[in-house]
Amino acid sequence: MSNPSLKLPEPPAELAELSAQLCTTIVNAIEADGPMSFQRYMAMALYEPGFGYYVNGLHKFGAAGDFVTAPEHGRLFALALARQLEPLASRLGKNWTLMEPGPGSGSLARDVLSQLRNPPARYLLLETSAPLREVQRETLSALSEDLRSRVEWIAAPPDRGFDGAVIANEVIDALPVARFRVGETGIEQAVVTFVDGRLAWDYAPAEGRVLRAVEQVISDLPQPPGVGYTSEVCVDLPEWLDTVTAPLKRGMALMIDYGYPRREYYHPDRNDGTLVCHYRHRAHFDPFAWPGLTDLSAFVDFTAVAEAAQACGFEVAGFTSQAGFVLGSGVADQLEQVTDERDRMRLSGELKRLVLPGEMGDKFKVMALVREGDGALGGMPEAFALSDQVDRL
C-alpha cells in the first residue's frame, strides 16, 4: 500500500501476509472512525499487538535486522557509559538500581554489567515484548551467574522507588509523533486516509494537544516557519518521561538518541521534518511501505526533553554529542593499552563509528538528567566536561 515508485525488496510471503493483516486492521479503523491521525498510525505500525514492528517477534537489530544501534557496534560505548556510572555507584553504595527501558537486543545491558566495577544490585529491563525478552535472555546468557542474577524483567516501571540510574538508548525516537504543516489559515495536522486501495496522506486543522505543542514550539523559534513548512512534535514525550523516571528518587537518567536542540530541529531549511523509515538497512521516507516490517522513527527535540525533565524535578546536568561523550569518558585510552594489532584495528574502527561526524558522532546526542533527592550527587558528570552544549538547548 506504499508509493509504487519506491523500490524496496519484497519480503518473504509469510512476512508480506503479516504486513497485509496489519494493513487490514488499520484500514478497518479508518473506515470505522474516519481519517486516522498519523500519531495513531505510527503507534499501530510499531506496537499493534501481534503485528506491530516492535512486537511481532521479527529480528530487528544488527546486520540481520533493519538497523544497527551503538551497542551493536561493539563494547566501547558501554564502557563509556560504565565509566560515567561508576562515580554515581560509588556515592550510592552497593544497593543501587539500574533500569533500562526498551533494552533492544540486550547487548547494552550485557556490556554495561560486565564492565562496571560496582555493578547494581538490580538491573531492571523494562520490556513488554515477549519475543524481545527471549532475545535479551539469550544475549545475557553470556554473563556470569552472579551478574545474571541481578537482572529482572519488568513490564512497567516499579511502584517502589530506587536510588540509581535510568538509561534510555534510542527509545524516544520510537515514540509516535504527530506530523504538522503550516497552512494558509493555520496549523494543520497530518492524517492517514485510504484512497484507491492505498494508504495516503491528508491534512486537517490541528487541535487539542497537537495544536498547543506546535504553538509552543513556534513561539520558541527566532521566526515563525512559512506556509508549507512540515515537521513533527512528540506530544507524548512529557508523559513518557514522567512515567519512566518516576521511580528514580535520587540519581541520574541518561537519554541517548539522534536529535537536535529545538532551534536546529525546526530550522527553516529542515522543512520536511525528520521522519525516517528503516527496512533491511535501507532508509526511506514512505511510512506506508510494508507496515509492521518497517521501523518508523523521528529525531528527538532535546529542548523538549529538557523541558519535560525540568517539569519532573530533574536538573539538566549535561548535554553533548555522542562523540563528546565517548571521548570525554576517556575510552580512547583503551586503544593505547591494546598490544594485539588486530584488536587495535577492531577497536579503532569501533571508535571511529561512534565519534566521526559522518558516522554516529554528531547525529547522536547524550543528555544527563540528575535528581538529587535528599543528597548532593556532585556537579556536571565528567564525560560531559569535554564538550558540554547545554547552552544550545
**DSSP assignment string, 47-82:** HSTTTSTTTS----BSTTSSB--GGGG-SHHHHHHH
Residue 349 is predicted with a pLDDT of 80
C-alpha cell at 177: 509523533
Instruction: Provide the CB-side half-sphere exposure for 387 (13 A, CA).
Output: 16
Question: Which residues make beta-bridge pairs with 163?
Answer: 250
Confidence band of 38 (pLDDT split at 50, 70, 90):
very high
Tell me what pLDDT residue 360 has. Answer: 73
Percent of the chain clearing pLDDT 90 (strictly above): 76
- Rounded Cα distance, 320 and 387, in Å: 6
- State how far the Cα of 383 lies from the Cα of 80, in Å rounded to an integer: 8
Quick one: pLDDT at residue 5?
A: 59
Please spell the DSSP secondary structure of 277-334, one letter per residue.
EEETTEEES-TTSSTTTSEEE--EEHHHHHHHHHHTT-EEEEEEEHHHHHHHTTTTHH
pLDDT of residue 61: 56
pLDDT tens sequence across 220-271: 999 999 999 999 999 999 999 999 999 999 999 999 999 999 999 999 999 9
Which CATH class name applies to 70-170+237-265+298-392?
alpha beta
C-alpha cell at 374: 535528599
Phi-psi region of 122 (alpha: psi -120 to 50; beta: other; left: phi over 0): beta
Q: 219-243: string of b/e by CB count within 10 Å (b at 16+)?
A: eeeeeebeeebbbbbbbbbbebbee
Residue 385 has pLDDT above 80, yes or no: yes
Q: Could you tell me which residues are beta bridge partners of residue 315?
A: 370
Least confident of 168-172, 324-328, 358-362: 358-362
Looking at residue 341, its pLDDT comes to 73
Residue 62 has pLDDT above 60, yes or no: no
Q: Is the separation of the CB atoms in 176 and 43 below 8 Å? A: yes
Residues 6+ apart with CB under 8 A from 198: 1, 2, 288
Q: Where are the domains of the chain?
A: 70-170+237-265+298-392
Is the pLDDT score of 68 beyond 70?
no
Q: Which residues contact 162 (CB under 8 A, 6 or more apart)?
A: 96, 97, 99, 122, 247, 248, 249, 251
Determine the pLDDT at residue 359.
Answer: 62
pLDDT over threshold 80, residue 288: yes
> Residue 219: its pLDDT value, please?
97
Q: Say how many Å lie between the first and final Cα of the chain, rounded.
A: 39
Which of these, 212, 192, 196, 219, lies nearest to 204 by C-alpha position? 192
Closest C-alpha among 165, 176, 42, 37 to residue 92: 165
The per-residue pLDDT for range 174-208, each reduced to its tens digit, is 999 999 999 999 999 999 999 999 999 999 999 99
With a cut of 80, say whether residue 376 has pLDDT above it: no
Residue 90, C-alpha cell as written in the block: 560509588
The pLDDT value given to residue 264? 96
